[in-house]
């Protein structure tokens, strides 16, 4: 697929021929329709679907969709930004045939993510997946690649009602929770595996009715695609079991909430993991430290992408393993940037950075683009990491925290938006259209919840993500 130029007729013909072969295979597997998704700036996965008989044309010419979704809010209302919003215009969803996957939990359906193009065949300037691809290419031009994975936490409720009724009652991380929903958790694991994903682990989590699944790391855009597939598979398996899944940052106002942690590792052109084998602290190489330093320096602005909802800041609180402080540390689950070495002897494959501040309200493509841009900026300036933090940063005396530059991250969405708008790296990487549109959507959500208390915020967001 042409990314930055015009889709030419020869390419359309090639895509049509490929789709014909795929459609024949899907028909033999009982597939009738293909769901094609994109994720809006509020983190909601939106969809258009075509019958299998129209897959060939959809592959060549795309599926029509309004650009209005660039300014949709989580409640399906819409803002109007300088470069986006309103009723005029049309785009084309160009599905990624390489990621087309029959859906185990939705018999008769297949899924594919899409890039959004203009009708003239050029990339839509506000397409988040294309932005992430561009950042991957910019990093590759410097001789680097990144492996990425998203952790997925979700809570499961009994029945279809809007109140949250935990589907299990056992202790946090307890085997009892696995026993209570044994068939369900097995079905989630098996469905993901049958769809070509590698499940690294799956287990009960801390919050009421909460589970977590981790999948293998892959290229950054692929990781974002996989996150969409994992979440929608879990949602479908839940519905078939008479349960209801939520990925919301906060499910109960007094609860812990669902995180959306991201794992990243930087690799060079020789296939070496630059988070290991170096002479720096904990084996970091100079490029690995610089990449990490770029992430740490821009965490407040990155919250506008990775912690993007009003409800996100009900979760992002100190001493809750949410990463509420801009600091880093070895295996420190209270630091926003946790450095993971893996078991002794396994660092070359396992060493990575975990960013803990983010949640599932994020558009994963926007977040990947922001993380890569921040890391690339760190590489460009040879960023250095400060002294690592080996305790809960909330427990540091004020003078020591100041000396070590350990800062609390913004405690509300408005602070993150201001940091994002003021950041020159994101201004250059995203461009004025994206910066204005993202900021407009965030401010519109802030206004939407103006005056609401935590219970009201949670009630209105619980089932949106």
Tens digits of residue pLDDT in 13-62: 999 999 999 999 999 999 999 999 999 999 999 999 999 999 999 999 99
CA distance 407 to 414: 17
Crossing angle of the two packed helices 299-306 and 364-381, in degrees rounded to 10: 160
Which residues, other chains included, contact 152 with Cβ-Cβ below 8 Å and sequence gap of 6+? 212, 213, 214, 215, 227, 230, 231, 234, 247, 260, 360
Terminal-to-terminal C-alpha distance of the chain: 29
Percentage of residues in the chain having pLDDT higher than 90: 94
Name residue 245's beta-bridge partners. Answer: 156
- The residue whose two tokens read 């959306």 is 260
Helix segments in 55-213, DSSP class H? 55-61, 128-140, 175-180, 182-194
The pLDDT of residue 46 is: 98
pLDDT in tens, 203-254: 999 999 999 999 999 999 999 999 999 999 999 999 999 999 999 999 999 9
CB atoms within 10 A of CB 422: 11
- The residue whose two tokens read 């993500």 is 465
Which residues, other chains included, contact 464 with Cβ-Cβ below 8 Å and sequence gap of 6+? 44, 74, 75, 248
Provide mean pLDDT across the span 64-91: 95
pLDDT in tens, 406-455: 999 999 999 999 999 999 999 999 999 999 999 999 999 999 999 999 99
CA distance 99 to 365: 15
CA distance 422 to 415: 11
CA distance 287 to 139: 12
CB atoms within 10 A of CB 346: 11
The pLDDT of residue 3 is: 52
The pLDDT of residue 346 is: 76
What b/e sequence results for 429-443 when a residue is b if at least 16 CB atoms lie within 10 Å of its CB, and e otherwise?
bbeebbbbbbbbbbe
- pTM of this prediction exceeds 0.85: yes
Region of 221 (left: φ > 0; alpha: ψ -120 to 50; beta: rest) is alpha
The encoded tokens of residue 36 equal 């094609």
């Amino acid at each position: 697929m042409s990314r930055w130029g015009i889709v030419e007729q020869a390419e359309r013909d090639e895509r049509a021929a490929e789709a014909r072969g795929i459609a024949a295979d899907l028909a033999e597997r009982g597939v009738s329709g293909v769901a094609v998704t994109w994720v809006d700036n509020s983190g909601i996965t939106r969809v258009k679907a075509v019958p299998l008989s129209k897959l060939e044309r959809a592959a060549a010419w795309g599926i029509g969709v309004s650009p209005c979704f660039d300014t949709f809010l989580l409640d399906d209302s819409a803002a109007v930004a300088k470069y986006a919003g309103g009723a005029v215009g049309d785009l084309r969803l160009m599905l990624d045939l390489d990621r087309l996957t029959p859906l185990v939990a939705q018999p008769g359906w297949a899924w594919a993510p899409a890039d959004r193009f203009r009708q003239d065949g050029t990339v839509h300037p506000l397409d988040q997946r294309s932005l992430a691809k561009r950042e991957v290419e910019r990093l590759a031009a410097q001789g680097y690649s990144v492996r990425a994975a998203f952790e997925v936490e979700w809570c499961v409720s009994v029945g279809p009602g809007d109140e949250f009724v935990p589907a299990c009652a056992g202790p946090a991380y307890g085997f009892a929770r696995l026993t209570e929903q044994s068939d369900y958790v097995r079905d989630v694991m098996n469905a993901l595996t049958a769809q070509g994903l590698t499940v690294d682990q799956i287990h009960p989590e801390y919050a009421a009715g909460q589970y977590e699944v981790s999948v293998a790391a892959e290229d950054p855009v692929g990781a974002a695609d996989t996150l969409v597939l994992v979440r929608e598979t879990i949602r479908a398996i839940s519905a078939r079991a008479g349960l209801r899944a939520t990925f919301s940052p906060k499910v109960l106002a007094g609860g812990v909430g669902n995180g959306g942690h991201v794992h990243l590792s930087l690799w060079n052109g020789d296939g070496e993991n630059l988070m290991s084998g170096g002479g720096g602290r904990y084996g970091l190489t100079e490029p690995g430290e610089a990449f990490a330093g770029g992430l740490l320096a821009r965490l407040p602005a990155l919250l506008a992408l990775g912690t993007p909802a009003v409800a996100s800041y009900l979760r992002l609180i100190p001493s809750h393993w949410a990463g509420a402080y801009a600091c880093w540390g070895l295996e420190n689950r209270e630091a926003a940037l946790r450095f993971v070495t893996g078991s002794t002897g396994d660092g070359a494959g396992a060493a990575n950075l975990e960013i803990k501040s983010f949640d599932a309200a994020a558009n994963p493509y926007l977040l990947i683009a922001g993380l890569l841009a921040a890391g690339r900026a760190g590489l460009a300036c040879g960023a250095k990491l400060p002294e690592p933090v080996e305790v809960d940063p909330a427990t540091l005396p004020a003078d020591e925290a100041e000396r070590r530059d350990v800062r609390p991250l913004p405690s509300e969405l408005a602070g993150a938006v201001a940091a994002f708008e003021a950041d020159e790296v994101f201004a250059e990487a995203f461009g004025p259209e994206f910066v204005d549109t993202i900021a407009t959507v965030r401010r519109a959500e802030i206004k939407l919840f103006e005056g609401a208390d935590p219970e009201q915020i949670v009630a209105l967001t619980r089932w949106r993500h």
